[in-house]
Amino acid sequence: MATIKVKPSSNAPLFLGEEGMAGRYIDCSANPYDLRPAADLIIQAAGRRRAELPPGTPLVILMGENHTCSAHVELQHMVAAKLLEQGQRFCVGYELSSNTLTSAMTTNIPNLGPLDSDAILDLDTGGAASLLSYITGCATTDAAPVAQRNLMAFCYENKIPSIFNDAARDYERQGGLYIDMYNSINVAVAQLCHVTKKNDICIFGVGGIGIRNHVMARRGIDFAARQGVDIILQNTGLSHVLGRRYSNFDIHAPSLTETYMAAGAAVLPVFIAGVGYNDDVDSIPATRRHYLAQGIVIEGLAGDLFSEQVDECAEQSFITEKLHRQSGGLIRCFDAAKTMRKNIEVIQASYARILEQYYADCARHKASLTA
C-alpha cells in the first residue's frame, strides 16, 4: 500500500494518504492469526464514534471482507462477541439476498406456491429463521462456509437481531446472478439509481452494485429502527465499502458507505487490505479515499481462502487450530452436528409459523379488497 505512511508514535497509529486523509491503521503481520488487535481497534473506534453521535443516529460498522477469507469473517465474529460483552445493543446485517429465506422455504417444502419474499422477511422479525436456514443447511454458501456459520450461530444463540439485507435475486429465472426485477423494492431503487434496464441486471455490474448498496442501506436502517438498536455491524464484500477501481477506471455506483450516510447513518468503514486481487487502498477510487478519515485500514491478517472446492474439515481445522488458538480462545467453533436435530425441529416450526401468519395476512388483505 504505497499511499500509506505509518505514524509509529501510537499503538493504533494514524496513517496519512497521498491526499492527506487520516484514519486508523494496524499491521497484524507479526501474528496474522491473532484477531484481537484488529478487533480491539474496531471496538475502540466504534465506541468513540458512537459517543460523538446524537441519539437516534445509527452507527454502521462496515466490515469489508474477502468472502472466502475465514479470518475476515471470524474477525466480525470477534467484534460481535466484544460488543455483546460490553452490553451493547446492536444488530448484524449480512450481504445475503433478502429473498434467501423464501428461496430456502420453497426449496425445502414440497408444493409450496409463490411467496412474497418481502412479506416473508418481515415476518422473520429478529432473523432467527434466516440464520437457522444456513445453520441447518436449508440454505448454503460456497464462501468460507464454516466461518459464516460460526458468525450466524453466535448471533442465533445470543439472540442478536440479524437481517439478510442485500437486494433480492432472481433465483428461479437467472440462477441468482441477476437482480430480481419483480421485487417492488428493487424496482423503486432502480429508478432512484437511474438504472434503465428492466431485467438482466447483473449483481456485479455497475447498475447491480448501485441497486444492492441502496437496498442494503435502506433495509439495514429500517431493521435497526424496528429493533431499537443504534449500532449495525454490516457484513459486506470489500468492493462495496468504498467502491473499486478496475484497470484505472472508477466504478461510479454509490458505495455502501455513501448510501448508508445518505440514509442518515454514521459509518465506520473497515478496509482489510492485501488478501486478493486489487484488495489494497490504491483500488479505492481517488474521490472516495477521504472517507477513510473516519475509518480503519487493516493489513497482515491471515489470507487463507476457503471455498466450495475446499473440504470444510480443512477450514474448521484452520479456524480452530490457528485463528481461535492464536486469538486466546475468545471465540469458539460452532458444533453443527451436536445441535442439528434440535435446530431442524426449530426451523420446521419457524417455517410453519411464518407461513401460517403469511397466509392469514394474505386472507385479511384479500377480504379488505372485497369488503
pLDDT value at residue 4:
41
C-alpha span between 105 and 115 (Å, rounded): 9
Beta-bridged to residue 169, according to DSSP, are 179
Query: 470477534: which residue's cell?
Result: 78
- State the pairing for strand pair 59-65/91-97: unpaired
Residues of the chain with pLDDT below 50 are 1-14, 16-22, 247, 249
pLDDT value at residue 254:
80
pLDDT digits (tens, 9 = 90+) for 21-55: 448 999 999 999 999 999 999 999 999 999 999 99
Q: Return the closest-CA partner of residue 90 out of 130, 127, 54.
A: 127
Geometric angle at alpha carbon 276, from 240 and 177, rounded to 5°: 50
Q: Return the closest-CA partner of residue 150 out of 35, 41, 18.
A: 35
C-alpha span between 178 and 187 (Å, rounded): 13
Q: Return the closest-CA partner of residue 63 out of 228, 263, 220, 278.
A: 220
Give the rounded distance of the alpha carbon of 291 from its chain centre. 19
pLDDT value at residue 1:
37
**Cell representation of residue 121:** 422477511
Who contacts 224 (Cβ-Cβ below 8 Å, separation ≥6)? 58, 91, 230, 231, 232
Q: Return the closest-CA partner of residue 227 out of 127, 116, 349.
A: 127
pLDDT value at residue 369:
87
Whether this model's pTM surpasses 0.85? yes
